[in-house]
Structure 1
Amino acid sequence: MQKNLLIVGGGTAGWMAASLLNHYLKRQGSSAHQWQVTLVESPQIGIIGVGEGSTPQLKRMFDELDISEAEWMNACSASYKNGISFINWTEHTSSNRYFHPFPSPFDRQTAAAFLYHNKLRMQGMDVPVEPDTFFLSAYLAEHALSPKTQVGKPQIPLNYAYHFDSAKLGNFLAEKATAAGVKHIQGKISSEKNAIALHENGHIKSLALDTGEMLQADLFLDCTGFQSLLLQKALGVKFESFANNLFNDSAIAIPSERLSPLPSETRATALSAGWAWQIPLQNRTGNGYVYSSKYLSAEAAEAELFSHVFEPETLTPNKLDELREQAKHLDMNVGQVEKHWHKNVVALGLSQGFIEPLEATALHLVHETILKLKNVLVSDEYNQAVADIEPLKSEFNDDIRSRFEGVRDYIVCHYKMNTRTDSQYWIDNRNNADISDKLGAVLQAWQSEKDIGEILERQQMTSYYPIISWYCLLAGYGAFKPATSENRLPAHQLNQMRRFIENAAQQFAPHDSVLHL
């Protein structure tokens, strides 16, 4: 007996789900072969298509789908990403910036030295603790090198991510998914009051399109964005706001010319009421400003972003008018739904929740949700159950909610630990006491000069961000008490480590040279 999975809404999240679930359900056991995956989307609803970044999770997706970098990166104007540089989030360190790498097997030796230096610094020793000093990825980013070794050079295992055009990625995945057997329907859910019909048990029975077509399914995926037409509107699942934890509720996006040489990092620069992203693509640069409308008007945010991105002498009245026409203003609903799977609807992407893009976790959470759903759909418990699959849903919801909360805590920590004093926004973020108990325990341990690794592991927080990432954040902010000792490690130890990293970096190709243009 065939089961039908209907994905409502396209975009990157919808087509990721279509591609991966179609792939998984076809290759699993006999029960999984019963699923037909269909995606319905409205051609009238466009995708914003700003430059977007990912975590290394995206590489895993393409590997699973057996799609080469040479194929998809060129189609999506994509580039490589070694990590993120955070600029001007502090006011008291020597550089007021730090680099957050993706931990890799190569880093085992230097990461151990980094953690040891943190321990010594907590004991009052005046030793270097800036993450940039200890990680190969930081060196590659500083010198616009890719994470790919040169032809003929030994392979060095590094984790890396990508920058890409999200609209192009959605279109690329759509072509691949439909070629692999996903049924594609173009149509918009009717605006009629009863367009979404329910069974007596509250499950969704059918959707009516504006074309008059009726669609039915056993399981629905809600990929309708912040509207959440199925889960929140039709089924009444409540949304839990993170506004008390994360102040930013707005964003502006504006493109600029391609950078040369092409950076291999995302840059997140703190501004007066939020932060600006810079995402280098093959054909252009994606720029944007994530900010709080409570502290800054849209017009003032525009002006600040334009001044940040473009040279002052180029901002003539005509140029400003042109930029205002190009700028895309976005409202952000930061938080998550109380249940990600309710009745026969699973929410995905913006329908399930959103945490501002500071650490590029949006598609990471989408992918994790898809993987978790796949595990349920192919399980014997799900396929043999006649009626009661509520325990499976409950476990699914607990897992996804915990992931959102774990990402939230890490993002909140960026704001909580800032040392800026130039605007009320940054002061209020630092003074904000509305943080989770888990984050509070981590910060209390750090401020007490204790090993936060034990706290992170005990609270099961390392599955979202590893220990090394927390140390990069806190050490990168210079969140230490003043050094009380002039003791330093012998200079030759640091020089030896730097030579180790520099020698390894010689194996890597310049970023521009490895893109599939």
Structure 2
Amino acid sequence: MKNASELKDIVIVGGGSAGWMSAMILADTLAAKGVTITVLESPTVGVIGVGEGSTPALKRFFDSLNIAESEWMPQCNATFKSGITFDGWSTKPGFGKYFHQFSTMVDKLTQPVFISNVHARLQGVDVDARPDDYFLSRLLVENKLAPLAGESFPFTATYGYHFDAALLGKFLHKKALERGVRYRVCHVTRATQDADGNIAAVHTSDGEAVAADLFIDCSGFSALLIDKTLKTPFVSYSDVLFNDAAVALPTPLEGPIAPQTVSTAMKYGWAWQIPLTNRYGNGYVYSTRYCDADQAETELRHKLGQLDGSTPARHLKMKIGRVAQHWNKNCVAVGLSQGFLEPLEATALYLTQMTVAIFALFLDKGDFSEPARHAYNQEVNGFFDGHRDYIVAHFKTSSRADTAYWRDNASELDGMSDSLKGIFGTWLQAKDLSAELVRQDLERYYPVGSWYALMAGMGVFPAARMASAQEASGHAEQRAQMREFLRRCALNFRDHKLVLQEMVGR
């Protein structure tokens, strides 16, 4: 098959968030072309979902499909997310905690001030250059406000969500069936290939063969089609990202709900806290090179005060890296089958969404040739590698040294990509980081404000000299004005928990 006009049947192997998100995007793209889309979901394979966070891209996904927040959020115990607090990643005085913001329109006024102060601090002037005081989303979190502005406030906020991943998969399942996607419960055990190496059919445990023109592999870490059948090479990130396991443990939710994820540095990795409407999702992402599952669970239980063991914990293994070809022959790998990055920046669903959305653009072009597959794979690999570098930067900027884990994650440039070395070199030389990101075409992965928040939030600065009286006075006045401006902007937003409760009542 060399062009989309020959495409009649698509089979998606696996459900869950990846499978049903793929079904929704492809059904929307191919709605008028008479292509049959069928999801094959196993009754015996569970969903890897423990309560997840998203980037703002998930809002674009639902908006593109005309699905209202008031419809899907209550069904998935979802809350809003305005950013991430990183706690304990840096040991530098004054930098023990920082907030990574999701942008708002107000940032066009405040971010230039932040960046100006960062560059002054890089030049050694002792001015405040932490990101927390310069972004409206930080005040929304501090005051536990939903990122939905009142009608009289003309500036919007960008935001993501927290949600129960298993419930999200069920919701997308229901919506996909409403849009004509077919569904079968069966356990796929293997696939067979034709003379050209393409997948001819997948075979179920009942002995049935299911043929299609195109297969989407959403079979999770088992990667039944892309790996076990097509033997696609895997590119491991384990040399720069050590974490390969996680333990998850829910705790009760009480009181107001802050619209943020909290990432807390631990002895051998980091812990997340994600607020849903019915509970907190908690977990500890760690490296099995440095501790075992029992040690990790004990450390997490100590943190959460859950020492009695009455609530069972879930243990997960993670394969960190990506396949070399996400589109190989007549198979496109999506979700865990194509690769995975530890969920430090909530990239899992984003990479799933981008993988399918980019493939949909290639479908529109109608070209299934080898050059088209090569271009597609280069683009998707760029997203994976770009997000890898941003996550690696968290560990390379951390100043913790209390365990061998953190010492081995130290900030030497060895092991980093040339791209990341260029970013660090630009920063440490106090040059224009925005220009470097443009030069490398990296803003498509993370915007300049995210990079400044990370580097400044971790305290990656030279020793500071005392600011002159004039500099100190000017900065103090500017900071006071900034905080007052943002305080007044925040008055246009309402209580997060109340907004969520109103959604349930609609």
Common topology (TM > 0.5)? yes
Q: For the Cα contact (< 8 Å) 2:261–2:275, is it kept in 1?
A: yes
The SS at the match of 1:287 is: strand
Q: Which residue of 1 aligns with 2:27?
A: 22
Answering whether residue 198 of structure 2 is matched by residue 169 of structure 1, we say no
Q: For the Cα contact (< 8 Å) 1:259–1:285, is it kept in 2?
A: no
Aligned identity (percent) is 43
Q: For the Cα contact (< 8 Å) 2:82–2:102, is it kept in 1?
A: yes
The SS at the match of 1:378 is: helix
- TM-score with structure 1 setting the length: 0.93
Distance 1:170 1:35, change over 3 A: same
Q: Which residue of 1 aligns with 2:289?
A: 294
Residue type at the aligned position of 1:403: F
Q: For the Cα contact (< 8 Å) 2:104–2:136, is it kept in 1?
A: no
Q: Which has the larger displacement, 57-66 or 152-161?
A: 152-161
Aligned partners of 1:236 and 1:118: how far apart in 2? Answer: 47
Aligned partners of 2:435 and 2:155: how far apart in 1? Answer: 30
Q: Which residue of 2 aligns with 1:133?
A: 133
Q: Which has the larger displacement, 440-449 or 49-58?
A: 440-449
Answering whether residue 369 of structure 2 is matched by residue 370 of structure 1, we say no
Answering whether residue 180 of structure 2 is matched by residue 181 of structure 1, we say yes
Residue type at the aligned position of 2:323: V
Q: Which residue of 2 aligns with 1:221?
A: 216
Residue 194 of structure 2: which of 175, 191, 199 is its match?
A: 199
Distance 1:364 1:65, change over 3 A: same
- TM-score with structure 2 setting the length: 0.95
Q: Which residue of 2 aligns with 1:474?
A: 455
Please list every run of at least 4 consecutive aligned residues from structure 1 whose deviation after the TM superposition is greater than 3 angstroms: none
Deviations 1:386-424 (A, max 9, x none): xxx011100000000011000000000000110012111
Distance apart, 1:95 and its partner CA: 4.7
Distance apart, 1:2 and its partner CA: 6.1
Q: Which residue of 1 aligns with 2:466?
A: 485
Aligned partners of 2:475 and 2:427: how far apart in 1? Answer: 26
Distance apart, 1:196 and its partner CA: 1.4
Distance apart, 1:143 and its partner CA: 1.5
Q: Which residue of 1 aligns with 2:314?
A: 328
Deviations 1:302-337 (A, max 9, x none): 111011112xxx63xxx22x23xx211111100000
Answering whether residue 416 of structure 2 is matched by residue 435 of structure 1, we say yes
Aligned partners of 2:152 and 2:272: how far apart in 1? Answer: 33
Q: Which residue of 2 aligns with 1:281?
A: 276
Aligned partners of 1:342 and 1:491: how far apart in 2? Answer: 57
Q: Which residue of 2 aligns with 1:397?
A: 377
Q: Which residue of 2 aligns with 1:9?
A: 14
Answering whether residue 96 of structure 2 is matched by residue 96 of structure 1, we say yes
Aligned partners of 1:476 and 1:309: how far apart in 2? Answer: 25
Residue type at the aligned position of 2:199: I
Q: Which residue of 1 aligns with 2:388?
A: 408
Aligned partners of 2:280 and 2:155: how far apart in 1? Answer: 28
Distance apart, 1:212 and its partner CA: 2.5
Aligned partners of 1:373 and 1:490: how far apart in 2? Answer: 49
Q: For the Cα contact (< 8 Å) 1:83–1:102, is it kept in 2?
A: yes
Deviations 1:255-291 (A, max 9, x none): 1101421111000000001000000000011000000
Residue 455 of structure 1: which of 432, 436, 449 is its match?
A: 436
Distance apart, 1:431 and its partner CA: 4.7
Residue 211 of structure 1: which of 206, 222, 245 is its match?
A: 206
Aligned partners of 1:239 and 1:48: how far apart in 2? Answer: 21
Aligned partners of 1:9 and 1:93: how far apart in 2? Answer: 48
Aligned partners of 2:254 and 2:415: how far apart in 1? Answer: 40
Give structure 1 stretches of 5+ with no counterpart. 28-32, 383-388
Residue type at the aligned position of 2:90: T
Cα RMSD over matched residues? 1.3
Aligned partners of 1:90 and 1:491: how far apart in 2? Answer: 25
Q: For the Cα contact (< 8 Å) 2:395–2:411, is it kept in 1?
A: no
Residue type at the aligned position of 2:407: I
Count of paired positions: 492
Q: For the Cα contact (< 8 Å) 2:149–2:156, is it kept in 1?
A: no
Aligned partners of 1:95 and 1:237: how far apart in 2? Answer: 43
Answering whether residue 479 of structure 2 is matched by residue 506 of structure 1, we say no
Distance apart, 1:142 and its partner CA: 1.3
Give structure 2 stretches of 5+ with no counterpart. 1-5
Deviations 1:58-117 (A, max 9, x none): 001111111110010000000000000000000113250110111232210100100111
Residue type at the aligned position of 2:117: H
Deviations 1:338-373 (A, max 9, x none): 111110000000000000000001111111111111
Aligned partners of 2:49 and 2:422: how far apart in 1? Answer: 39
Distance apart, 1:493 and its partner CA: 1.6
Aligned partners of 1:173 and 1:511: how far apart in 2? Answer: 24
